[in-house]
Chain A
């Protein structure tokens, strides 16, 4: 059974640029959630995708957007990057977007904005 994978591992961008991060969910999981984790803090929920539809969103501006594909993999897009966007971006997959299911995390993508 393959776990959650994310790419790239590290990324360096400059302020104002756009970035796309990718996530492959664990086998059998149809729900993907994205979190932002600043250094020394707990993860913060960005949004969740369930069966290709957005299924909840945290307090993040519209320049954070996402997609989920028919194979349940997902992308996180961030436009007009700001210095404060520097963080570890985590993807988590779960069996379903309804009910209570454990979320299993990938290794993360470390984004640095200069």
Chain B
């Protein structure tokens, strides 16, 4: 069974304080790993897709990396508007569904 675990569950940062969110996964053949941002009461917003170990993608203050067992979402000099829940999901070779982790709730204080 595919499993995704995200840590920490919650993270409080001061504005400008860089950090990383972790996504560990167990999957029977990885097709893709996806990062989403979700604001309260809204649907997830797509951020990145990573396909193979060693791959990196960047968007503004966010950078996602992938190894064979985990992915990291690095947030550089975060701003209060980066406050949200960040979700990680995997798609396995066997199917079309996304298996999500529980998310990391990020709070950035000014």
A-side residues, CB < 8 A to B, are 4, 6, 31, 33, 35, 40-45, 48, 50, 55-56, 58, 88, 90, 92, 97-98, 100, 102-108, 110
Rounded to whole Å, the gap between the CB of A109 and the closest CB of chain B is: 10
Q: Does B77 contact A (CB under 8 A)?
A: no
Query: Which chain B residue shows the least CB distance to A106?
Result: B43
Q: How far is the CB of B29 from chain A (nearest CB, A)?
A: 12
Between-chain CB contacts (< 8 Å), 25 pairs: A4-B43, A6-B43, A31-B96, A42-B6, A42-B102, A42-B103, A43-B44, A43-B89, A43-B100, A55-B96, A56-B96, A56-B97, A88-B41, A90-B43, A100-B31, A100-B91, A102-B46, A102-B49, A103-B46, A105-B36, A107-B42, A108-B41, A108-B42, A108-B43, A110-B41
Residue of A nearest to B102 (CB): A42
Q: Contacts of A31 on B, CB cut-off 8 Å?
A: 96
Q: In the docked arrangement, what's the CA distance between A31 and B98, Å? A: 13
Given contacts A40-B102, A45-B97, A100-B31, 13 further A-B contacts (CB under 8 A): A33-B97, A35-B98, A41-B103, A42-B101, A43-B89, A45-B99, A56-B96, A90-B44, A100-B91, A102-B49, A105-B46, A106-B43, A107-B43
Assuming the contacts A42-B87, A42-B103, A110-B41, asked whether A104 and B46 have C-beta atoms less than 8 A apart, the reply is: yes
